[in-house]
Copies of this chain bind each other. A is one copy, B any other.
Amino acid sequence: MPLGEFELIARYFTRPARRAVLGVGDDCALLAPTPGMQLAISSDMLVEGRHFLKTVAPDALGHKALAVNLSDLAACGATPLGFTLALALPCVDEVFLAGFSRGLFALADAHDVELVGGDTTAGPLVICITVFGEVPPGQALRRDGARACDDLWVSHPVDGGLGDARLALEAFRGHVDLSDAEFTRARRAMERPQPRVALGLALRGIAHSAIDLSDGLLGDLGHILERSGVGARLDYAALPRSPMLAAQAAALQRQCLLQGGDDYELLFSAPPGARAAVLRAATTGGVAASRIGVVESIPGLRLLEPEGKVSTMSARGFDHFRDSGVTP
């Protein structure tokens, strides 16, 4: 007899409650938020064939499903508390479940965030995680706080940049040939993004606005500009890129950097006087931060090309109903 729904939950998703007053297994989980803190909440749904490929290793999928949610908390400067997991599965595949839960809990433990409840059902492979964090009143990083003359910054790995996840996708699609070592590295960027939680916390009180890069730099910057009622000029040459990406053809590089998606880095704005503070926050967060442009009062998005020309750009990111393919 295959494993049933309740045995599945018991075997793979039940651990002793820690911070939660009541964890997995009742109608609701109970959490005791720190008095006076605001609750930050975000929810992301991942659908097979849309957000991830069938080829993804189960533990990488468990990691990524939680990572993209923690990335939203990071973009708000919130401290992660807990999360719920709703999972539709075509069948009970214990190899999948063991790997998925291992990847999920490894990242959860790294961020001291607790699975408090959820739902399992039969269906097409769909993962929906809702995360909860907390933030002192008035200190959340938001999309609507960018001001003219702010620097625009983006986080990235100390030895890397934006666009590697998109490069992996193009390699999966057969649009680019990478060496085995490059493919491994690019695939890691796509499948194991690291949510910038520590950076988000360190940017409280420093950044005027922030968003996490999930739909591509131009589109996500567009959200900040629209919400804040401002424009921006990006410096293409300043966009951080890995040596691997820098070795690709110019058009591919540009696509990966500007419309990449799936980066899960933080894009944020801060006043010019805060440059040293931003760099200290990046060090605290274990990442690098590059200054990639400035916020301007004139609406619109302008790109300073490497050769000195300024192009007007559309700030449209990936749209799940207008664009197709595997994406953020």
Q: Which residues of A contact B (CB under 8 A)?
A: 1-6, 8, 21-22, 25-33, 35-36, 38-45, 47, 49-51, 72-73, 75-76, 78, 82, 84-89, 91-92, 116-124, 126, 128, 130, 132-133, 135, 137, 140, 142-144, 210-212, 227, 319-322
The residues of B that contact A43 with a CB separation of less than 8 Å are: 84-86, 117-119, 128, 130
Of chain B, the residue at the smallest CB distance from A140 is: B30
Q: Which residues of B contact A25 (CB under 8 A)?
A: 143, 227
- Ordered by A's residue number, 19 sampled pairs between the chains whose C-beta atoms are within 8 Å are A2-B322, A26-B142, A26-B144, A28-B76, A30-B40, A30-B76, A31-B41, A41-B130, A43-B118, A45-B86, A45-B119, A47-B123, A50-B123, A92-B321, A120-B320, A122-B320, A124-B124, A124-B126, A128-B128
Cα-based distance from A154 to B142 in the complex (angstroms):
46
Measured between alpha carbons, how far is A235 from B85 in the docked complex, in Å?
A: 37
How many copies of this chain? Answer: 2
Q: How far is the CA of A143 from the CA of B250 in the complex (A)?
A: 61
Which one, B21, B72, B121, B137, contacts A51 given CB within 8 A?
B121
When the two chains form their complex, are residues B21 and A29 in contact, meaning their CB atoms are under 8 A apart? no
Shortest C-beta distance, A327 to chain B (Å), equals: 9
Q: A140-B22, A321-B5 are in contact. Are A28 and B47 (CB under 8 A)?
A: no
Contacting A86 at CB < 8 Å: which of B33, B36, B128? B128
Contact B76 A27 (CB under 8 A): yes
Question: Are A50 and B133 neighbours in the complex by a CB distance under 8 Å?
Answer: no
Having A8-B321, A29-B40, A50-B88, one finds 12 other A-B pairs with CB under 8 Å, namely: A4-B321, A22-B140, A27-B42, A27-B143, A30-B41, A30-B135, A30-B140, A41-B117, A43-B85, A47-B88, A47-B121, A122-B320
